[in-house]
Chain A
């Protein structure tokens, strides 16, 4: 169990009745007892089973496609190819509420002529049984004529490179300019330059993509699917060619998302097939399908040139970022923007130049993944901070201390985050909990090392996307509470948190609430469960809705008690006078009174995030996000210098989460983020050879197991300064950000040399050590 550390006396010591406690989540019992249906558990009479046929070469022309043999197989009901979809395209851009869309980012639904990546879908099969669909897939005959492709973003930018997207493969460019970086670097006493690389990472959620679609009596295409974004109903309708109100997404509890279910996955295939066959259709990806079926984390190459004064101040910073966007654009421009905005990390850099490009290749397309570009930058800037301290001969904590952003300081874009910046407190505590620098290094082949990393990670979507979220809260006549909101729950407790917020405000308990969520037609749209925004956005909407209802209930109670409303409180399922709790009534009686008086016992609220214009295109100045989260992770490792094996011995997390809503859920996020970050640092890498996936299963793609992870030691700081409900910030993405660089720094501390490319495999460690010996 984590410790909550109260470090700031200026924050009033608020006592909540529900919020902040490690309560059993509303979704826990159903999951534990196996009662919760996931999208894959739904069946319908007469349903067909689908299968997607995919290209097995990354860059090619489809010269021949013959589905007749497959169609002739008994039990095959329908096969759809591009020929059936002459003018259908699918959006790859930000879905959503705003209707904004960039030009030229759409994708063919099925391969027409040109194959751009390994696994690109060629045909959709529907059959009476999964087995028949599988056999039919083997009977689809196609010929792919290889076309020279490009598999490295740096190669893709060279003149004459094969073109995958646009005119020159560059799908996005972002610049951030502040002060004069060149002058700052020129004036520096020391300049440290390093290039860091990060890999393609796979989300590897437990639940592969799955859905069931059917057409109802109103000709609405219903899709039961695991998704982070029910708002895709619009993009799906556009792709299929029906009005928006003829597609209804009914989510289910999701077996993990991590950004991998942020884009459309199986929905369009299901919708097309249901519309064509007029029968219920089900599509479930195997793990193999899943690994080639959704985008990956962008590999980044980041070159940091840091100018330092002798006394340890950063006086200039130049950062060049190149991201591999793969074959289609998807969310690359936004991911890249997060990378650019966060490029200096939680440090004050007055002379800054960031130049970031996302480049198309014939690799797997890349899109959203927990940390969304910000964590790739963190992987680089925190390694660079250690390299700078080392070059200066300074203690790495003290060096950081000289350069921290503090509350009220401007970040890279000139924006001042409205909340507390507690990086220093977080780093100090993490380092203290770990025990600080090691006094003695061990002899023998096995070395021990320690490292720390801080981070800056936003919560809430980019403010120029004009984000909104709706929630509805109502009280039944028997005093029970209902929350309705479209929010999707991807396993982090998003839904349960809303319940906790509503009952805190209404003074009842978590058992009294039922939450309906994730239905694009009947629950108010909450926006996506992405960008560490669900609690911030929908939590606020829920809180405001509950407060509106509370206000009316309290007014009615005050009338009965003959007092002013501001002396009445709700708690313990009662309404009472604060200074005279004897004067009280049961919540249920109050609700009944309201009902008979015709007082409105529900409220629908639309919460708006701060809106901004797009950042200045030349300088990147302006507001990018509503606010930021700060924290730190500290790590102890052992490194076997003979074999290069790294063991993570201790893992210490400290985050200022603003305010815990459910402490157990916060810890769950931090533990999961730690595992996710450890894999990114040490073992996880999707490898492509000429675009072809050569790690097609969990036998090659290696996430840390329980045997590879130490217990995560967690301390939570609550600045109560966030923009979320009760001063909450967010933890979903921040949890992963600092883990990998902390591990990298610990390894470098142990062996005295740095591996600049993640994952830091045993082989890379051995090679780095050999290189170091070679130099001596």
Chain B
């Protein structure tokens, strides 16, 4: 057993001594996370828009996305390996799938919840469906959509850690190696870095979201 202060000191020492690899792993971690969030954005936000126009598909699609989120990553990743191979690819696929629920659901509900009176005013003043979507609904829903993107990003940064177990790289490498070698300072050091990235992302995106008109109410 370690006294807490000792382990904290050991951890800091480990971080300083292994700067180089920590920085490399951080970059790799962010690379995997950002790629996944980027792809997810391009897929899921438009899907949310589609569901808004075609309500009848919303329950099954959002239900499926919710189900995916309950699959443990340690089970999903090995299932993907035979399909897309080892390395970054299965990690990105899994992370994109995990992003589906927050992004689709928030885009959909954000658009659905736009105040009916604004939609009616827009339509009554002669907006086409397209103008209504881009000039009224999307801007009004933006804080809620953005909140979904933020939730997905934080989720992805966390799960990227697990993907290292299957060869995706990133800070998870140090964590799993530390567990294998029974080297707590390494586990803790890498974990702290992941947490800092996740928290910084959360706050950074929250600040952006708050700056959007009407953004302070969305969570």
A is bound by B: no
